[in-house]
Chains A and B, each alone.
Chain A
């Protein structure tokens, strides 16, 4: 399982990266390599050239801004897992990280790599979609931000154009006093691709009424999606109500069927895990654990 031959370049600036990509449509970015290299080994991907962005310091780092946390594309997943900024301001992401691959793949794999790979069952894209994150993309002429749900368009498919390089992910930070998060996943083994993953974040007022809520589901269809949980707003939700809202919102959900799990299974478990993620989030908000400091 040796890759087909390719050239290797390590540009020293983002501008150079974009130039190379724009000039050669068979060039590919490599950062952590945890998903790209297996594809190269199996000769499913045959780039002419690998453009290594892992050492570009501009693309690394976790930065707290007023209303967002910006994570550079080549930030390693393990850094996010251990980050105090993320734990405080993006607790949902902290909850999701232990489910991403294995410890060794988190040591090398990057946030940008997971985003750009766009696996329908991947956890980081799920959290990005759930929180309405924006993907920062650079190309030779421009730098733009794209909402996550426009970025992910299909299984392993993104809106990335030739010459584009994902630079960072901006996760919005909620400023409510009481927020809570919940994350649930089922996979054949701990480290496997999720059959279904559910990510939830809620905010409640002093009376425990829901003032904001978001639920995302991954692994069910061809990309991570946000579920309409608006009916929960203004209420103090109980399990039955939550289940109903999730069921109603997922009744027409497209689900994929494969060797490991049927479409029926995915739809069924989407309701189960979506409900549990929301329940956990409400409980988390009540207990004060999710409050911002």
Chain B
């Protein structure tokens, strides 16, 4: 079946079986390999993308269901090649990762949180990333990263993006 998807602001097309997940389509048809397969049954969150700005498991969606949404993958976050968004940079600042496998999902979850809540409490952050499992970090430096990013964003002299 032909699908037309809007990914990171661009219209892309593919021809896939109905059973092909959005995750596999992103990785194989569009070579966006930043979204990762960890469990393929919707628990670990390594496949997280944003669907209309909200974190969703791309392994729990078929590509044929994914038209008509704004899909954001980790590749869509960097402002320019070689540059990092504030949230991405914050993860580097606090070392909020080790192996990097859960990281795109974590960053997108953090990013989505900060879009709608510019002063999250620790509990808010913990809840926001509770759908993303990390086996390396024990979450401590991830929470610090999102706190750090929240702080930087609050103090920055830039208008914030669209809030839902």
Contact = CB atoms under 8 A, between A and B. Distances in A.
Interface of A: 1-8, 30, 33-34, 37-38, 40-42, 50, 52, 54-55, 78, 101-105, 107-108, 190-191
Nearest to B65: A52
Q: Interface residues of B: mostly helix, strand, loop or mixed?
A: mixed
A104 B65 contact: no
Interface string B24-60: 1000000000000000111001001001001111011
B31 to A, nearest CB: 19
A95 to B, nearest CB: 15
B40 A41 contact: yes
Contact of B19 (A40, A104, A191): A40
B127 interface: yes
Contacts of B40: 1, 41
Contacts of A50: 18, 62
B130 interface: yes
A108 B130 contact: no
The 8 A-B pairs at the shortest CB distance, nearest first, are namely: A102-B131, A8-B18, A38-B41, A1-B40, A107-B54, A104-B131, A3-B19, A104-B55
Contacts of A78: 54
Contacts of A103: 55, 109, 127-128, 130-131
A50 B127 CA distance: 32
A102 B130 contact: yes
A2 B19 contact: yes
Interface residues of B, number: 28
A104 B48 CA distance: 8
17 contacts: A5-B18, A8-B1, A34-B57, A34-B60, A37-B59, A37-B60, A38-B41, A38-B42, A38-B60, A41-B40, A102-B45, A102-B131, A103-B55, A103-B109, A108-B57, A108-B61, A190-B130
Given A5-B19, A6-B18, A104 B41 contact: no
Chain A CB within 10 A, most for which of B51, B54, B57, B60: B60
Contacts of B1: 8
Interface of B: 1, 17-19, 21, 24, 40-42, 45, 48, 51, 54-57, 59-62, 64-65, 68, 109, 127-128, 130-131
Nearest to B49: A104
Nearest to A2: B19
Contacts of B54: 78, 104, 107
Contacts of B59: 37, 41
Nearest to A82: B164
A264 to B, nearest CB: 28
Contact of B65 (A2, A5, A54): A54
Contacts of A3: 19
B18 A104 contact: no
A55 B67 CA distance: 11
B41 A1 contact: yes
Contact of A5 (B17, B56, B128, B131): B17
Nearest to B61: A33
